[in-house]
Structures are given as C-alpha cells and as structure tokens.
Amino acid sequence: MTKLPTYLDRYPAKMVSRLASRLVSEYADNAPSILDPFCGSGAILAEAASRGIAVHGIDLNPYGILLSKIKIEGFNSVEAKALWLEIERNMARSNQTLPMNWERKNYWFTSATLHKFEKLRSVLYDLRVWKSQAGRAILLAFALSIRRCSRADQRSPKPYISKTARRKRAGRHFDPMVEIGLLLDKLCSLYGRKTGRKANLHCDNITDLRTSIARHSHIITSPPYINAQDYFRNFKLELYMLEGLLNFSVADIKKKFIGTDRGNVLVGIPDEVLERNKKLFPKLALMRQASPRSAAVVDRYFWDMSKAIQNITDILNPGGTFVLVCGDNLVAGQRIPTWRILNSMTEQSGLTLHDQFGDKIECRLIPPQRKGHKGLIKQEVVSVFVKPK
C-alpha cells in the first residue's frame, strides 16, 4: 500500500501503517467488512481495502473523510488535471468570491492570498467539485494548500504563528494556485488511478449517530485521546475554508470532537455519570479540586466514550470482533490509565476480552514545546474483544 509523505498525509495521531497491517491481518483477514468508527485519515480502512475487504468508516472531521476517500478509491489523474485546467481558466475570467465565514481569517492569511482563496472557493462551488473523484482530488489538494499558504508555523501540528514564522513568512504572498497545482501533481503520482474500491464513509459522530449504520462482524478503531489532540484546533484553517464546499457546519462540529476542552464540557452529563467516572478513576476527585477545568474535560471524555462504546457494541454482530487501540494520558499532572478505563467500559457493555498486547511508540514527531503541551503517549495497548453469540 502506497504511503503518503507527511505533508500530504498531515493528520495528527494517525495510526502507523505497520500496526494497521498487523491488526487487519491477525484479527480481520477473512472479514466480509470492517467498520472504523473513528476512521480519521483512514489507515485501518486503506489497509483492509487493499486486501479486498469492504470498508465502512465514521468520523466527525470532514477533512479526514476526504483524505480517507482519496486513499481508498483513488481517482483518474487525466480527469483531475483536465478539471484543474478548467478551474484555472474560470479563475482568470471570474471576479466572484465565496467569502470564508470567519472573523479571524485576516490574522492567518495575507489579503492577496485570502482574496485568491475566496475567489477559488467560488469557482470550486460553481463546479460542484465534491461530486466526482477527480473533483475531490482537487478539493484535497486545495485543503492541503491552506496551511502551506498561511502565516502559520509549518512545523507544528496545531496552527500558530511563532516568532520563527513571523520572521520567515511575514509579508510574503503565497499563491494557492501554484501550490495546488504542485500538490495535485504529487497526488496524481500516488493516487491517480481508480482502484475500483468503494469507501463507505459517513461524516458523523459515533456518540450520537444521525446515520443508520448496518451491523458489522469486525470493528477496529483507535479513538481520540483526552485533550491530547484538539482535532478542531488542528484543522481550523482547513475547516473554515472547506465550509460551504463540503456538507458540514463549523458551528455544528467545533465543540463535538471527543477529548476537546472547548465550550461548557459538563453540559448534559448526568450526576450519576460523574459519580461513575470517579469510581473508574479515583484521582478524579482530587483533580476536580486542584484543576476543575481539566477534570471537567476528563468527565466529558468518559461520558462521550461510554456512549461511543455502547453504540459500537450495538452495531457489532453476535460473535463479532472489536479491536480497540488506546494508551494512557497525562492531564493536569495526573497520569490517566485511559486504556484500562475504556476496557472496563467495553466489558461492562457486554463484550469479552479475548486478546491483548502492547505496542510501544518509538518514533513520533514531537511538536515544538509551548504552553499547553500535554505530554506524549509512550505506548498503545491493543485490546481485542468478542461479542458473545
């Protein structure tokens, strides 16, 4: 399976291809289909699809859904390049713009770059590029160009404007048309052929499904961690720019990412759940006194994940296999045995632990140290559950 270079597969905390291959090979090699309810950039699904397994994915992040779809289905490079030529011609003729609905956009982009992006958004919208494989390839190149054409520091998974970025990028004009053309060439060389595979992907939230999901015999996933990656913050530039081109609303999703610290995270959590959380993690009582905000994030995470695990259990066929990949977390100075707690929730939902092993994370890109950095996960634990018949 072709592996995208990092700048073409910029997705935080993505599963390494080696582990994805092992999980599919050992636990789902003969599966009729696989569901990943936190599919992210599609590592599990791409590995399964390469083996001829039907794949289904759910993720709240529309950028991840777009990237996964390109990885799995590919596209016709001749059609994509022809469409890009049409877009370039339309850009030369058009004076229309489709403005971003974001008050902070001028902070991140120069006025010339922003104008070109908003003009391009109008052209992409008029051509309904999201409806075809070739169009989605261009939309992915468009999305990949956004951070690269911004004022943001290019080294960090989270967009921020560092002193280095101010020195190197201030006042520079980055032309998205040039950047997108180069990125599309790279995507064509890697994924510019139709694979014949179908990616059944849903931009949805497994904690509160709006989509009807069929039952599956195999579910493999690696859920988000507690505040280790704020997926909205990581992708806010892309999401605000893609809003209006893909079927989602930033306002609808920005506070719904599991593990987030934004908004009133305790809203809607029953008192009995807060008590249950304290039993699952006794140090939470001390954390609530010493760091109430961090404790609230932990409470919300456990609440969201308990709903997600129950939905996963309901979707899983009797006799089916559920593979859960998770590690520990460090929040407010407290080490949280997240994987043990999620395993306990899974067993309480009615599944039986069948197999388990640890996978040490020996190589991980470390972002620049800065305020708010929450620590790194040293090992992930793979837990394999079976649903009784």
**Cα 47 to Cα 314: distance, rounded to the nearest angstrom:** 25
Residue 16: is its pLDDT beyond 70? yes
Q: Are residues 171 and 109 in the same domain?
A: yes
Q: How many residues does the chain have?
A: 389
**Residue 375: which residues within 8 A CB-CB, separation 6 or more?**
228, 329, 330
The β-bridge relationship of strands 54-59 and 199-203 is parallel
Residue 141: is its pLDDT beyond 90? yes
- The domain boundary, picked from 191, 208, 236, lies at 191
Q: Are residues 218 and 356 in the same domain?
A: yes
Q: Are residues 37 and 143 in the same domain?
A: no
Residue 109: is its pLDDT beyond 80? yes
User: Exposure string (b/e) for 298-323, b if CB count within 10 Å is 16 or more?
Assistant: bbbbbbbbbbbbbbbbebbeeebbbb
Q: Are residues 263 and 347 in the same domain?
A: yes
Q: Quick check: is 213 in a domain?
A: yes
User: Which H or E run contains 48?
Assistant: helix 43-50
pLDDT of 154 reads 86
Is residue 255 within 8 Å of residue 68, measured between CB atoms? no
Q: Which tens digit of pLDDT belongs to each residue from 154-213?
A: 887 788 899 998 888 877 889 999 999 999 999 999 999 999 999 999 999 999 988 889
Q: Could you tell me the pLDDT band of residue 362, with boundaries at 50, 70 and 90?
A: low
CA 226 to chain centre: 14
Q: Are residues 55 and 159 in the same domain?
A: no
The model's pTM: 0.92
What 3-state class would DSSP assign to 263? coil
Q: Are residues 173 and 214 in the same domain?
A: no
Q: Quick check: is 320 in a domain?
A: yes
Q: Domain span at residue 19?
A: 6-60+198-224+253-386
Top mean pLDDT of 66-70, 209-213, 362-366, 375-379 is at 66-70
pLDDT of 23 reads 97
Q: Are residues 108 and 182 in the same domain?
A: yes
**Cα 59 to Cα 204: distance, rounded to the nearest angstrom:** 5
* Total number of domains constituting the chain: 2
Q: Quick check: is 318 in a domain?
A: yes
Q: Quick check: is 324 in a domain?
A: yes
Q: Are residues 122 and 169 in the same domain?
A: yes
**Cα 342 to Cα 35: distance, rounded to the nearest angstrom:** 18
